[in-house]
């Protein structure tokens, strides 16, 4: 069986300027791997309307699921919700269900639900809300696109809300072995191993550490017995 393929779209000038180091991509990658969904591509675009619309359309048409991160807060530079709505030619406005969540939240905390905060209730028509247990303002799913916040704590909570409802395939199993020899020495036998196990992905990830050249060899696949067999062979070669 083939796993569903997904893409991620990170939205935000702060990542591309180097001000902030994104952590959501790494988090989502690990969670999707565990859920049996293959993250096949990720993109980072700036807070630019056309760039966001184009990326949402391209990724949504290519992959089964698209996960976005960033740009759904109350400030003027938060334009993701409008852009996703525009990508699907759907109307967007303050929606009663989202407004009710915010009203209840701000009534509890005593803060004012002002015009800016109310922006967080802008949800495209027909979208399903994504629960945000951390700071209440919801994300949303429209078609195959899951729109989530950029703040890592909120993003991670929203991923936990969304993932159980998506049907993944078999989890991807992996085993790895650290080899303290230059890649150039192990590349030949490794290539033969990859040919002997065409259903597995065999990756070589080189490192230089304290002057030692080495590589972590990672064997991935959906069939545990095959992964075991390939690891045994790898140990015989380089163990």
Window 9-68: residues binding a copy of itself (CB under 8 A): 12-23, 25-33, 38-47, 51
Distance, C-alpha 3 to centroid of its chain: 15
CB atoms within 10 A of CB 59: 24
- Pairing mode of beta strands 5-11, 38-45: parallel
207 binds a copy of itself per the rule CB under 8 A: yes
Report the chain's terminal Cα–Cα distance, integer Å. 32
Q: Which is nearer to a copy of itself, 63 or 140 (CB)?
A: 63
If one asks whether residue 201 binds a copy of itself (CB under 8 A), the answer comes out as yes
Considering only the stretches 79-87, 88-96, 162-170, 178-186, report the one whose residues sit in contact with a copy of itself under the rule CB under 8 A: 178-186
**3-class secondary-structure state, position 61:** helix
Q: Which stretch binds a copy of itself (CB under 8 A): 70-78, 81-89, 121-129, 230-238?
A: 70-78
Instruction: Tell me which residue has tokens 């590589």.
Output: 215
Binding residues for a copy of itself, rule CB under 8 A, total: 76
In angstroms, the Cα distances linking 106 to 18, 46, 97, 139 are 34, 31, 15, 17
Give the nearest distance from C-beta 101 to a copy of itself in angstroms.
Answer: 14
Secondary structure (3-state) at 219: strand
Kindly write out the interface string for residues 85-114 of this chain, putting x where it contacts a copy of itself by CB under 8 A and - elsewhere. --------------------------x--x
Residues of this chain, 122-141, that bind a copy of itself according to CB under 8 A: 134-135
Q: Three-class SS of residue 48?
A: coil
Q: What whole-number distance in Å separates Cα of residue 222 and Cα of residue 131?
A: 31
For residues 107 and 111, which CB has a smaller minimum distance to a copy of itself in the complex? 111
Q: Which of 144, 175, 204, 226 binds a copy of itself (CB under 8 A)?
A: 204
Interface with a copy of itself, residue 175, by CB under 8 A: no
């Amino acid at each position: 069986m083939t796993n569903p393929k997904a893409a991620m779209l990170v939205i935000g000038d702060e990542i591309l300027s180097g001000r902030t180091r994104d952590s959501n991509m790494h988090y989502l990658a690990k969670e999707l791997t565990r859920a049996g969904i293959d993250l096949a591509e990720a993109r980072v675009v700036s807070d630019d309307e056309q760039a966001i619309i184009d990326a949402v359309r391209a990724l949504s048409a290519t992959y089964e699921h698209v996960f976005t991160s960033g740009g759904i807060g109350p400030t003027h530079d938060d334009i993701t919700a409008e852009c996703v709505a525009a990508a699907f030619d759907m109307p967007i406005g303050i929606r009663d269900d989202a407004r009710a969540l915010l009203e209840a939240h701000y009534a509890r905390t005593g803060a004012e639900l002002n015009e800016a905060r109310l922006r967080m209730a802008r949800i495209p028509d027909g979208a399903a809300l994504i629960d945000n247990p951390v700071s209440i303002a919801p994300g949303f799913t429209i078609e195959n696109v899951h729109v989530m916040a950029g703040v890592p704590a909120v993003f991670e909570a929203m991923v936990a809300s969304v993932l159980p409802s998506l049907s993944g395939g078999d989890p991807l199993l992996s085993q790895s072995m650290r080899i303290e020899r230059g890649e150039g020495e192990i590349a030949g036998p490794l290539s033969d191993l990859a040919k002997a196990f065409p259903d597995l992905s065999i990756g070589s990830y080189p490192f230089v550490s304290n002057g030692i050249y080495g590589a972590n060899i990672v064997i991935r696949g959906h069939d545990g017995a095959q992964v075991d067999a390939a690891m045994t062979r790898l140990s015989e070669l380089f163990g």
